[in-house]
Amino acid sequence: MAIHPIEYRYCSDEMREVFEEEAKLQTWLDVEASLAKAHAQLGNIPKAAAAEIAKKADTQFVTVERVHEIDNEIHHDLMAMVRALTEVAGDAGKYVHYGATSYDIEDTALALQLRDAISIIEKDIDTLKSTLAALTKRNRDVVCIGRTHGQHAVPTTYGLKFANWLCEIQRDIDRLDQAKKRILVGKMTGAVGTQATFGENARRLQTLVMKDLGLTPVMVSTQVIQRDRHAELVFVLALIGSTLEKIAKELRNLQRTEIGEVLESFGDKQVGSSTMPHKRNPWKSENICSLARVLKSHVMVALDNNPLEHERDLTNSANERIIFAESFVLLDFMLRRINDILISLELQHGRIQENLDLTKGLVMSEKIMIALVKKGIGRQDAHEIMRTSAMESYAKGASLKEILLKNPQVKKRFNAKELERLLDPRNYIGTAREQVDDVLKAIGKK
């Protein structure tokens, strides 16, 4: 029976295949095979031996079960793999793991796992980018109220709201691409990084191994690849998660009963509450916000893994078995979930208009203040006129238009028709449409 919710609730089959135990074992074997081939190419071991090692470096020959049996005896999982591979390689077995230390294999294999996991995240985030681009374009002209400090501010558009998220997602894509260059590296440097066990052709051997695996060789290392690389990756994953949390949190707030401008899709048989049959909770968005907290917690762990003692200690090992898999599994789930939410998001256009009109014109006070300045009133005087008018509107429950039509300074400069035009939110969205068009044009090129 599964214990961790990741196993049965949050893990996609695609990401599971990257981090399941047999897949991890296969990456170790892949590195051992490449090491043997490089040794053979340099004349360090017979070519036939390298071929046999490469052939048997497969989980159909080196099984998880056998590795477990050996590990239970020697309490060293990497060495258990080495012994299991040696067993099935026959006479070639004496060349298995030749010159290597455990983390030559483990860190290089980890890079292979991370490469596959990053590839899945890249597909997920590219799908989300396309969804946001479509929403941005479709809602380019949907005017809504903007909010600051939780209060009505001035009009904006849903197109601009989605465009902001689209731009941030593109920055996340760029950051992941940059981090990928620093994390997809491998090493063959031995116990403390000197490469002493690999002889005079050690640097060439490392280059050959990494070329075969499609990785970049480290310039220098200790016994391990330095963990600043891994900390950066975990941070980038958490940062992507925070972007998703931002989107989900906004969607949650917009679904509040008092706002009601958007709705998550709700199945015909879906239940919102065990006791309140009317509930239509934004639980999918809440789910994303909840998991984002786990991603952020991994960043501190990854940072603590960087300052290892001397040429290394083992304090990174146990937690890395958790934080890498969890970060990728959860982010993969979150990206797919937010995309599903956005694809089926229901904009409630009636409520959007109601909220624009909720303050009876008060949200247009800034525009009228500017219009008064253009008519010759000083900026501070115009601000005071609008401030006192707004307070009167609040106190009397009257519309801003009613209050302003009684103000001599305003009546002198605007008639009722002109004031009506100034109070129309659709006439006060600035360059929102142009900004959206620029974003779609720019992002579309990437």
Q: Which residues are catalytic?
A: 149, 273
Distance of alpha carbon 386 from alpha carbon 154, whole angstroms: 14
Rounded alpha-carbon distances, angstroms, from residue 346 to 124, 169, 254, 342, 388: 22, 21, 11, 9, 38
In contact, 122 and 176? CB cutoff 8 Å: yes
Residue 257 buriedness (CB in 10 A; 0-12 / 13-18 / 19+): exposed
Q: Is 220 helix (H, G, I), strand (E, B) or coil?
A: coil
DSSP one-letter code for 362:
G
Rounded alpha-carbon distances, angstroms, from residue 107 to 141, 211, 234: 51, 16, 16
Residue 117 buriedness (CB in 10 A; 0-12 / 13-18 / 19+): buried
Residue type for 241, please?
Answer: G
Neighbours of 273 (CB within 10 A): 11
What per-residue string of b and e applies to 343-378 under the rule 16 or more CB within 10 Å gives b? eebebbeebbeebbeebbbbbbbebbbbbbeeeebe
How long a stretch of residues is the chain?
446
| Pairing relationship of beta strands 185-186 and 151-157 according to DSSP bridges | unpaired
Q: Is 78 helix (H, G, I), strand (E, B) or coil?
A: helix
Question: In the beta sheet, which residues pair with residue 33?
Answer: none
Distance of alpha carbon 160 from alpha carbon 143, whole angstroms: 9
Taking only Cα atoms into account, the Rg of the chain, rounded to an integer number of angstroms, comes to 30
